[in-house]
Amino acid sequence: MKHKLSCLLIDDDRDDQEIFKLALQDINGEVFCLTADDGVKGLQMLQQEENFVPTYIFLDLNMPRMTGRDCLNAIKSNPLLADIPVVIYSTSSDPKDIQDTKAMGAADYVVKQYSISSLKEILKRYFN
């Protein structure tokens, strides 16, 4: 099944996954969104689901098993995945995290929002 717009959210926090999907559904119900609980699962999904090439990957930094940085590095090192824009989606607003991940190839950096309306405004940049 081919979708015009799609994303993969890699985040270990199930509440954050639900809030993200609700906000996304509100701004564009046509976006197909898959979630993975950690970087290892996210990479497996990207490598095994040959018909799923997301428009964007949203990636948390602080996760068990594989950090967001390690996952970003693995994505950007894989020629089949390297061109997919990766947006870091983290609670950290540390300028060093932002600078480092952009230097590693992240397309953008979004600090997690405490309000669903703020998150919707941010997601409109990608899915409107």
Give residue-wise pLDDT tens across range 70-92. Answer: 999 999 999 989 999 999 999 99
What pLDDT shows up at residue 3?
Answer: 53
What pLDDT shows up at residue 1?
Answer: 42
State the burial class of residue 4 (Cβ atoms within 10 Å of its Cβ: 0-12, 13-18, 19+): exposed
Q: For the chain, give the percent of residues with pLDDT over 70.
A: 98
What pLDDT shows up at residue 48?
Answer: 86
Phi and psi at 126, nearest 5°, equal -100, -30
Per-residue model confidence as pLDDT tens for the chain (128 residues): 445 899 999 999 999 999 999 999 999 999 999 999 999 999 999 988 777 889 999 999 999 999 999 999 999 999 989 999 999 999 999 999 999 999 999 999 999 988 999 999 999 999 98
